[in-house]
Structure 1
Amino acid sequence: MNVTAERAEIAQEDRLRADLYNYLGVILARPPDRMLLDQTAGLEGDDSELGQAIVTLGKLAKLTKPVSVESEYNRLFIGLGRGELLPYASYYLTGFLNEKPLALLRQDMTARGLARAENTFEPEDNIASLMEMMGAMIIGRFGAPASLGQQRDFFNRHIGPWAGHFFSDLEGAKNSVFYAPVGTLGKQFMQIEAEAFRMSST
């Protein structure tokens, strides 16, 4: 069976999960441009906590100019010397950058045929890269889609132990305005994913 045929069999729910992972990866990788802000402004949510975070984010995107969100992004993640937040698994789990969590991630990436893009200089354990990796695994962007068990193992090893804490910090960060509901959205999504994976293993 070829990859195209396998992709066609991915459940709609999993496509939506992958889309949300990919969106979080893109919005956290760099400041959103006008096109991404316009796409975000068109998002619709429901009455759930996750849905309400999407609604809030959409409303803010309509009011936000690219130059202001770029300034906010820089204060949060870059700053003079460092930003308000350090969005790396190694830092959240050990208090230092480039530690064992990064080495373990690189081992898993090699085993799955994943590689860092040549023009990317960030350590692979940053939150944006991990969100994009998870989205890619779900839909099989780099080969066959990952099984639920493989997704669960990757999530539990590299995302679950810290991503919720990061998104909570982003939600409440001093410099977060546009990114506050991104934090809420990520926090809610991580809780849903963790519970779904927990249920799938029982």
Structure 2
Amino acid sequence: MTAQAQNIAIDPEDRLRADLYNFLGLLLARPADQMLLEQTAGLTGDDSDLGQAISGLARVAKISKIKSVEREFNALFIGLGRGELLPYASYYLTGFLNEKPLAKLRQDMASLSVTRAQNVFEPEDSMAALMETMGGLIVGRFGQVVPLERQRMFFNNHIAPWATHFYTDLEGAKNSVFYGSVGAVGRAFMAIEKEAFRLTAG
């Protein structure tokens, strides 16, 4: 996604939310490189469900090798013809790629001045792109900070209907080891976001 830098004060809690969205987006967009694997291995979590999932991911990252993570990513998301999982909203919600959920997402992205980067060719409704977009909306990376109500609408329309299902599938996929732990983090984080948006709904 293309972005504009903006110098604005962001609430620390919102900054952490955006960081986790961006982190998940990065992990799902391409196989982790050595730097990302080392950063992941250095994470620590508290006793909450999310904190325990983050600690579990860090433990797996510490013993993971770049080549094995790359093979795992390819088996999960690329494969011969297709991977074990198809991480797209259209597929999860309709059983087909490039369907109505993608068209609706593109409309909402246009209204928020979010456009796909020229060097990105996969559909915008991939989980990686949606995580990155949500992170950008929170901190104003697309020109302005998006109010909480608009964040809630975007989340409820494009992420909530399928994210828990996807992350649960990722956690339990037969080719998942490192990415199974990524799935656990995503599932726990989506539960927190869903409940937080429910509690703050007007």
Task: Please classify the TM superposition score into its range, dividing by the shorter chain length.
Answer: over 0.9
Q: Secondary structure at the match of 1:114?
A: coil
Q: Distance in 2 between matches of 1:74 and 1:142?
A: 30
Q: Distance in 1 between matches of 2:56 and 2:185?
A: 10
Report the equivalent of 1:128. Answer: 128
Report the equivalent of 1:179. Answer: 179
Q: Secondary structure at the match of 1:134?
A: helix
Q: List alignment gaps of at least 5 residues for structure 2.
A: none
Alignment of 1:63-74 (within 5 A): 63-74=63-74
**CA deviation profile, 1:60-89 (whole Å, cap 9, x unmatched):** 111111111000000000000100000000
Q: Distance in 1 between matches of 2:65 and 2:54?
A: 18
Provide the identity percentage: 67
Asked if residue 168 in structure 1 is aligned to residue 168 in structure 2, the reply is yes
> Aligned-pair distance for 1:125?
0.2
Asked if residue 195 in structure 1 is aligned to residue 170 in structure 2, the reply is no
Q: Distance in 2 between matches of 1:51 and 1:91?
A: 30
**CA deviation profile, 1:124-149 (whole Å, cap 9, x unmatched):** 00000000000000000111111000
Q: Secondary structure at the match of 2:145?
A: coil
Q: List alignment gaps of at least 5 residues for structure 1.
A: none
> Aligned-pair distance for 1:155?
0.2
Q: Distance in 2 between matches of 1:169 and 1:195?
A: 21
Q: Distance in 2 between matches of 1:131 and 1:192?
A: 15
Letter in 1 for 2:149: G
TM-score w.r.t. the length of structure 1 is 0.96
Report the equivalent of 1:44. Answer: 44
Higher RCO by CA contacts (8 Å cutoff, separation 6 or greater): 2
Q: Distance in 1 between matches of 2:146 and 2:88?
A: 23
Report the equivalent of 1:109. Answer: 109
TM-score w.r.t. the length of structure 2 is 0.96
- Number of residue pairs the alignment of both structures matches: 198
Q: Distance in 1 between matches of 2:194 and 2:46?
A: 21
Q: Distance in 1 between matches of 2:11 and 2:106?
A: 29
Alignment root-mean-square deviation, CA: 1.0
Asked if residue 84 in structure 1 is aligned to residue 84 in structure 2, the reply is yes
Q: Distance in 2 between matches of 1:86 and 1:93?
A: 11
Report the equivalent of 2:32. Answer: 32
Letter in 2 for 1:188: A
> Aligned-pair distance for 1:3?
3.6
Return structure 1 stretches of 4+ with deviation > 2 angstroms.
none
Q: Distance in 1 between matches of 2:182 and 2:61?
A: 11
